[in-house]
Amino acid sequence: MRTALAAAAVVIAAAALAASCTVHRVSDGYSCTETSQCADDRVCEQGFCVDRASSMACPTPCTSCDLDERTCRIECSAGKPCGAVHCPVGFDCTIRCNNAGACGDIDCALATRCDVDCSGVASCGNLNCGAGECAVRCAGAGACPAIDCAVSCKCDVSCSNPPAACPRMSCPQLLDPCTEQGSAGAPCSSDELGCDRCL
C-alpha cells in the first residue's frame, strides 16, 4: 500500500514539475514602447521585446510589411477581396482597394497614418480615419460612401466625381471647415490654415 502511495506521489510531483515548465511569464525587463529599447537584436512587438525571428510574420491583414518601420501594405481586389479592413495598431497603412467590392469598412482609428485608394464602383465601405493623418482617393460611384476624418490631424480627400464617389464626409473643423476653399460639403483638405496639425 505504501509503495502504491509513494508511486502515486512521484507521478503527481512529476506532472506538476512538467506543468510548471510550460508556464511562460514575460519579464518586466522585456517591456518596451519602441524597438530602440530592446537589446540582443530583439524587436518591440505589442509592448514586449521579442526575438526578431519570431516576429517576422506581418500582422493581419497586411499583404506585406516592414516591422521595424511599422508600415503595412494591404492589397485587395476582386480576386482577393478583403472584407472589413483594420489597420494594425500603431502602423502606417497603405490600403489599395482596386476593384468593385474589394473592401468593406476600413478602420484606421488606431493607425498612425492611412493612405487609401478606393478604385471602382462601391470599392470601399465606410472609412474611419481616426486621429492620425489620412489621405483618401475615391474613383467610381459609391467608392467611398462615408468618410469620417473629423478628428484627424490632417485629412485630404480626392473624389473623381463628388458627390457620387464620396457622398458623405466629416472633415476636421477649426474656425472654418478643413475643406477645399474652407466651404462646408467640399472634399476634406489640409491646405487651409491650421488644418495640418500632425506632429
Domain ranges of the chain: 27-56, 58-199
pLDDT at 197: 93
Instruction: Tell me the three state secondary structure of residue 20.
Output: helix
Give the pLDDT confidence of 117-142 residue by residue, as tens digits. Answer: 999 999 999 999 999 999 999 999 99
Distance (Å, rounded) from C-alpha 45 to C-alpha 33?
Answer: 8
Distance (Å, rounded) from C-alpha 197 to C-alpha 136?
Answer: 17
Distance (Å, rounded) from C-alpha 40 to C-alpha 21?
Answer: 24
10-residue block means of pLDDT along the chain (199 residues)?
Answer: 46 44 53 86 76 73 96 94 96 96 97 97 97 97 96 96 90 90 88 90
pLDDT at 118: 97
